[in-house]
Amino acid sequence: MAIPTIPTIQEIKDRIVADLENKLNQTTPALPKAFNNVLAGALAGLFILLYQAILWVYRQIFPQTADIAALELLGALVGINRLAATFAVLTADVAGTNGYSPPEGTLFRSSNDVVYKITTTEAISGGVASVVLTALTSGEAGNLPNGTILDIISPDPDLVGTAEVTATTTSGDDAESNDSLRARVISEYQKRRTGGAPADYEAWGLETPNFDWISPLDSPTTPGEVQVYGKVDNQPDGIPTGNQLSELYEYLTKDPDTGLRTRHPIGPDILTFPIERFSFDIEIFIQGSTPALESQIDLAVTDYVETQEPYNDAVHTVKKDTISEGGISNIANDIANPVGATVTNVVLKQTSDSLIISSYQLFGGIFGKVNSIIYTPVV
Is 356 or 262 the better-scoring residue by pLDDT? 356
Mean pLDDT highest for which of 35-44, 53-62, 248-257? Answer: 248-257
CA neighbor of 168 nearest in space, from 138, 137, 144, 139: 144
Task: Classify 41 in phi/psi space as left (phi over 0), alpha (psi -120 to 50) or beta.
Answer: alpha
pLDDT at position 191 over 90: no
Instruction: Report the CATH fold assignment for 89-170.
Output: Elongation Factor Tu (Ef-tu); domain 3 (2.40.30)
pLDDT of residue 1: 47
DSSP letters, 133-180, are EEESS-SGGG---TT-EEEESS--TTEEEEEEEEEEEE--BPPPPHHH
Mean pLDDT score, 72-77: 91
* % residues pLDDT > 70 (the chain): 92
Q: Using only the alpha carbons of the chain, give its radius of gyration.
A: 30
Q: Are strands 149-152 and 159-170 parallel, antiparallel or unpaired?
A: antiparallel
Give me the chain's average pLDDT, please: 90
Asked if pLDDT for residue 140 goes beyond 50, the answer is yes
Of residues 196 and 309, more confidently modeled = 309
Q: Is the pLDDT of residue 196 over 90?
A: no
CATH no. of 191-274: 3.30.300
pLDDT reading at 32 higher than 60: no
- Spatial CA neighbour of 104 closest among 112, 114, 94: 94
Tell me the mean pLDDT in the region 107-111.
Answer: 96
Question: 187 falls in which pLDDT band (50, 70, 90)?
Answer: confident
> Rounded CA gap, 56 and 20, in Å?
30
φ, ψ (nearest 5 deg) of residue 318: -120, 130
Give the pLDDT of residue 24.
Answer: 63
**Interval 223-242 mean pLDDT:** 94
